[in-house]
Structure 1
């Protein structure tokens, strides 16, 4: 297949991702217990973006004030950076994690990028994960284990943009697979 024949599909996926990203940032998106997960498949690339209130991940939404809270931040960052324990793409696709980016408007420490505060008193964590897959034709889904690691998280609103099309679904405790 020639690269120029893939261009329309890549443009469609990029447009879908931009649309999903804009929807996730609408006012009122910050709900405790609920997080947004966006999954984009583009050729050999798998990208997952998570937007969650910090309360879901830490139990608080402010700059850590105690040693216990600072330890919780370090543990959260360590868990998310070890994305293989949180996200499991289809094994046959042979995907390898290439980047993890964590960012928050709350000053959480050097391992998490600071972003401007939105002024509503609530702080979120934005996390981006990227994989490159050696056998992308075998990539059919990803298992998501966020709720096991972060029990305050009770629902994931998932948007998927993949070569097979776009879809939305909710993950709840006990339902952790996203397929396309």
Structure 2
């Protein structure tokens, strides 16, 4: 199943290229040099439904979920990080899967804010030493569900995720389901995608 999720970005590469062409003038793209630009307010979700197995992989700037990207040093910041992690550890409250009778089998949460090693592909420091300007912490969440009634899963509904994390204004979704592959931009006003 993991092979299917890993193949998803390549299967939908034409959509990503078209989206990148539209967003080409975004400030962060020249800094990152890739299609996966770090953009506050925007997250990415890969979804795959294969038989009874549903896999979700969410990547988001920490700013969207926590409200900051710097290391949590104060008690208030540490409490925010802990609260966000607790919410991410309950994905059924973020994505509506009730009708499909899905149970969480595996999950992985990764972020420098959670104490994981930061990606070392970060930006070079400016000559003036202002490294705070260049911090871009990401939060990665991967979930695998076993769904007893996968045919009841007709929509991927992220309305709860947008409510829980209101700084998230758009989620770019790439999905493989029973009806093939598709991509969409979900927003709080249009939070669902049909499988």
Structure 1 and Structure 2 fold alike (TM over 0.5): yes
CA distance, structure 1, for counterparts of residue 36 and residue 157 of structure 2: 27
Structure 1 residue 142: deviation in Å?
Answer: 2.4
Gaps of 5+ in 1: 1-9
In the alignment, structure 1 residue 86 sits paired with structure 2 residue 102: no
Q: CA RMSD in A?
A: 2.6
Identify the residue that residue 24 of structure 2 maps to in structure 1.
Answer: none
Identify the residue that residue 10 of structure 2 maps to in structure 1.
Answer: 19
TM-score (normalised: structure 1): 0.81
Identify the residue that residue 165 of structure 2 maps to in structure 1.
Answer: 150
2:136 aligned residue (119, 122, 125): 122
TM-score (normalised: structure 2): 0.75
Identify the residue that residue 45 of structure 1 maps to in structure 2.
Answer: 53
CA distance, structure 2, for counterparts of residue 139 and residue 33 of structure 1: 27
CA distance, structure 2, for counterparts of residue 99 and residue 85 of structure 1: 16
CA distance, structure 2, for counterparts of residue 17 and residue 50 of structure 1: 13
- Say which structure is richer in strand: 1
Identify the residue that residue 114 of structure 2 maps to in structure 1.
Answer: 108
CA distance, structure 2, for counterparts of residue 32 and residue 162 of structure 1: 28
Q: What does the per-residue CA deviation read over 1:89-129, in whole Å, with 9 as the maximum and x for residues that have no partner?
A: 2x33211111221101x2434xxx44533213311011101
Gaps of 5+ in 2: 21-31, 124-134
CA distance, structure 2, for counterparts of residue 140 and residue 126 of structure 1: 25
In the alignment, structure 1 residue 96 sits paired with structure 2 residue 103: yes
